[in-house]
């Protein structure tokens, strides 16, 4: 009996409960790899963990602080959540790994409420998880995961006219990233009554405002009492400033940025959503999803600061739209896409396994060595067992009904999972700051004392604080050491009173150089 018929027989034997268990295993196989087992990576993970580490070290839950300096770009809900997980599991797992449980928590919320908002169509969370733009960011320690969860909760509350759910979702989005989340949810709520099937939705607004009020008032009020200046920096510069160009927050000024990113960022959601719009434009859920997407897309495109990362909320309504008519996709179109997803995942999986085994036993291609110099591959039973389990889940998933969303997601999960298990040590060796900071610390220990810093970026400040205890000091601090960052390997000249004692960079990094000077 061929493998195909064996898998089909296995799928029939599973029944409803077994298929549901296998579907849950698929989501777990997609979500867990990449969350744990590596240091915080730059840029967003590193500085986010720096803010979490300040809470753990100092117990300051009010003012987000990075390596000794206030960092008022975002409210602290995600940092609070990550700090609670890290504190609860201190001693059980590394702090940065425990903090990643906040990402898992909010991504799980986003998937569940996307399913609910899509009238419990399981295809919606499958499509959302399979989006290429969501894949990496769902596994990162970033506040945007909480924002997406808040948007999904809010859209569910809007769709069901449940004001307290809408207000809670808006509150989570607000304390995750400021005015953007509640702003787009409020705009959608104002526009929804123009749709014939949703004209009674305004009756839930008072309950939404009541549920939203604690989220919107308590922390901002406490912050204002603590420091009106910090409140102004957060509210006016880092929120309103996104649209007035007072603060670009490191993004680009390109109002077409999201339109240009959608073809790959929202794949496979946008073609499936377009199919739904073409087939059933009159359905109330289709009109609602299209309106929600248009509102989020319009608000993001109007901002003066654009990053592809900021486009994550758009994926929720697109996934909701994609799920409506996914089952009516013509077989002549769905079948080749399903086969393509299956075979591409199979080929990529075999390639990742084969390359890893060859690398483990002495194969040293120039590209791999150059990207992570000094890395020595070693057999790690836990990671190898996790990769084998992912491969088994992929094989078993072939027993499920040949749905496009399942085939796509399981293929994505396999390729991502093998990369984040077999190849994780190689990636972390190049991306982590741990090695270069340990090298610096070996020199610094020769003379005890503080370290003054110059030109460190936010991720660098966070990691030097975490691994070496270095925090921001006054410019006139009388320290025996001076740490300088440059973007090339040309030594800086801090002055005649300093002597260069150490220099270093991360393996394979040619854009970040660190120089440690000793005071003469």
Kindly state the tokens that stand for 169: 């979702």
pLDDT bucket at 351, cuts 50 / 70 / 90: very high
According to the model, what pLDDT value does residue 331 have? 84
Least confident window among 107-121, 127-141, 231-245: 231-245
According to the model, what pLDDT value does residue 472 have? 85
- The CA-based angle 447-448-450, given to 5 degrees, is 115
According to the model, what pLDDT value does residue 323 have? 94
Paired strand residues for 515 = 484, 503
According to the model, what pLDDT value does residue 244 have? 66
Residue 311 inside a domain? The answer is yes
Domain count, the chain: 3
According to the model, what pLDDT value does residue 41 have? 94
What is the sign of the dihedral through the CA atoms of 247, 250, 255 and 258? negative
Q: Are residues 25 and 151 in the same domain?
A: no
Residue 93 inside a domain? The answer is no
Q: What does the alpha-carbon distance between residue 310 and residue 180 come to, in Å, rounded to a whole number?
A: 10
Residue 476 inside a domain? The answer is yes
Q: Are residues 360 and 468 in the same domain?
A: no
pLDDT bucket at 2, cuts 50 / 70 / 90: very low
According to the model, what pLDDT value does residue 10 have? 41
Q: Are residues 341 and 269 in the same domain?
A: no
Give pTM, 2 decimals.
0.93
Q: 328, 363, 394 — which closes off a domain?
A: 328
Q: Is the pLDDT of residue 404 over 90?
A: no
Q: What does the alpha-carbon distance between residue 51 and residue 99 come to, in Å, rounded to a whole number?
A: 11
Residue 277 inside a domain? The answer is yes
Q: Are residues 160 and 299 in the same domain?
A: yes
pLDDT bucket at 23, cuts 50 / 70 / 90: confident
Q: Are residues 443 and 502 in the same domain?
A: yes
pLDDT bucket at 19, cuts 50 / 70 / 90: low
Per-residue model confidence as pLDDT tens digits over 141-197:
999 999 999 999 999 999 998 999 999 999 999 999 999 999 999 999 999 988 887
Top pLDDT among 258 and 327 is at 258
Element (H, E) at 513: strand 513-519
- Give the torsion through C-alpha atoms of 294, 299, 304, 305, to 10 deg: -80
According to the model, what pLDDT value does residue 14 have? 47
pLDDT bucket at 24, cuts 50 / 70 / 90: confident
According to the model, what pLDDT value does residue 141 have? 97
* Whole-Å CA distances, 459 to 47, 96, 175, 198, 203: 4, 14, 22, 45, 46
According to the model, what pLDDT value does residue 239 have? 83
All residues at 6 or more sequence positions from 404 whose CB lies less than 8 Å from its CB, including other chains: 268, 272, 326, 329, 334, 337, 338, 341
Residue 40 inside a domain? The answer is no
Q: Is the pLDDT of residue 229 over 70?
A: yes
Kindly state the tokens that stand for 149: 């969860």
Q: Is the pLDDT of residue 16 over 70?
A: no
Q: Are residues 117 and 221 in the same domain?
A: yes
Residue 201 inside a domain? The answer is yes
DSSP calls for 191-248: HGGGSGGGGGGGGGHHHHHHHHHHHHHHHHHHHHHH-HHHHHIIIIIIIIHHHHSS--
Q: What does the alpha-carbon distance between residue 145 and residue 78 come to, in Å, rounded to a whole number?
A: 9
**What's the mean pLDDT in 211-224?**
97
Q: Are residues 258 and 394 in the same domain?
A: no
* Whole-Å CA distances, 481 to 96, 473, 494, 506: 27, 12, 11, 20
According to the model, what pLDDT value does residue 5 have? 46
Q: Is the pLDDT of residue 238 over 90?
A: no
Percent of the chain with pLDDT over 90: 76
According to the model, what pLDDT value does residue 34 have? 95
According to the model, what pLDDT value does residue 510 have? 87
Q: Are residues 311 and 438 in the same domain?
A: no
Q: Are residues 110 and 223 in the same domain?
A: yes
Residue 54 inside a domain? The answer is no
Q: What does the alpha-carbon distance between residue 249 and residue 163 come to, in Å, rounded to a whole number?
A: 32
According to the model, what pLDDT value does residue 26 have? 87
According to the model, what pLDDT value does residue 391 have? 94
Q: Are residues 292 and 162 in the same domain?
A: yes
Domain containing residue 13: 3-29+330-431
Q: What does the alpha-carbon distance between residue 479 and residue 195 come to, in Å, rounded to a whole number?
A: 65
Q: What does the alpha-carbon distance between residue 326 and residue 230 come to, in Å, rounded to a whole number?
A: 48
- Highest mean pLDDT: which of 259-268, 304-313, 394-403? 259-268
pLDDT bucket at 473, cuts 50 / 70 / 90: confident
Task: Please give the mean pLDDT across all residues of the chain.
Answer: 91
DSSP 32: S
Q: 431, 455, 476 — which closes off a domain?
A: 431
Q: 381, 414, 431 — which closes off a domain?
A: 431
Reference 498, options 468, 518, 470; nearest CA is: 518
């Amino acid at each position: 009996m061929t493998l195909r018929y064996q898998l089909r027989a296995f799928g029939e034997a599973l029944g409803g409960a077994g298929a549901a268990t296998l579907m849950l295993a698929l989501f777990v196989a997609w979500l867990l790899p990449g969350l744990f087992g590596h240091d915080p990576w730059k840029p967003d993970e590193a500085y986010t963990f720096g803010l979490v580490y300040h809470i753990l070290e100092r117990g300051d839950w009010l003012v987000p602080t990075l390596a000794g300096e206030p960092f008022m770009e975002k409210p602290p809900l995600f940092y609070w959540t990550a700090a609670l997980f890290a504190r609860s599991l201190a001693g059980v797992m590394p702090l940065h790994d425990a903090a990643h449980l906040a990402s898992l928590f909010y991504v799980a919320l986003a998937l569940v409420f996307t399913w609910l908002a899509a009238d419990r169509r399981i295809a919606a969370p499958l499509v959302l998880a399979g989006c290429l733009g969501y894949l990496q960011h769902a596994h990162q320690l970033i506040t945007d995961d909480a924002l997406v969860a808040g948007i999904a909760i809010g859209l569910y509350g809007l769709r069901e006219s449940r004001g307290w759910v809408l207000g809670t979702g808006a509150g989570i989005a607000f304390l995750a990233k400021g005015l953007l989340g509640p702003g787009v949810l409020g705009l959608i709520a104002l526009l929804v009554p123009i749709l014939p099937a949703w004209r009674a939705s305004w009756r839930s607004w008072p309950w939404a405002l009541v549920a939203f009020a604690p989220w919107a008032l308590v922390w901002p009020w406490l912050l204002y009492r603590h420091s009106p200046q910090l409140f102004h920096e957060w509210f006016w510069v880092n929120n309103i400033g996104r649209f007035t160009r007072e603060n670009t927050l490191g993004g680009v000024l390109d109002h077409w940025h999201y339109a240009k990113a959608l073809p790959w960022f929202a794949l496979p959601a946008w073609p499936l959503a377009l199919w739904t719009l073409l087939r059933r434009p009159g359905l109330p859920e289709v009109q609602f999803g299209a309106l929600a997407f248009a509102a989020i897309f319009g608000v993001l495109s109007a901002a003066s600061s654009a990053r592809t990362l900021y486009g994550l909320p758009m994926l929720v309504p697109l996934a909701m739209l994609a799920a409506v008519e996914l089952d009516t996709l013509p077989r002549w179109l769905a079948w080749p896409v399903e086969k393509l997803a299956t075979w591409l995942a199979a080929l990529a999986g075999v390639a990742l396994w084969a390359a890893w085994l060859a690398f483990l036993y002495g194969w040293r291609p120039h590209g791999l060595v150059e990207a992570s110099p000094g890395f020595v591959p070693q057999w790690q039973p836990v990671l190898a067992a996790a990769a084998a389990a992912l491969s088994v889940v992929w094989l078993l998933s072939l027993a499920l009904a040949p749905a496009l969303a399942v085939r796509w997601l399981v293929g994505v999960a396999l390729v991502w999972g093998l990369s984040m298990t077999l190849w994780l040590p190689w990636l972390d060796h190049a991306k982590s700051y741990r090695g270069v900071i340990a090298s610096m610390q070996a020199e610094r220990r020769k003379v005890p004392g503080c370290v003054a810093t110059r030109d460190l970026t936010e991720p660098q400040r966070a990691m030097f604080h975490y691994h070496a205890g270095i925090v921001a000091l006054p410019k006139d601090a009388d320290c025996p050491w001076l740490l300088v960052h440059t973007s090339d390997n040309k030594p800086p000249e801090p002055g005649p009173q300093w002597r260069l004692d150490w220099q270093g960079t991360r393996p394979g990094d040619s854009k970040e150089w660190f120089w440690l000077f000793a005071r003469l």
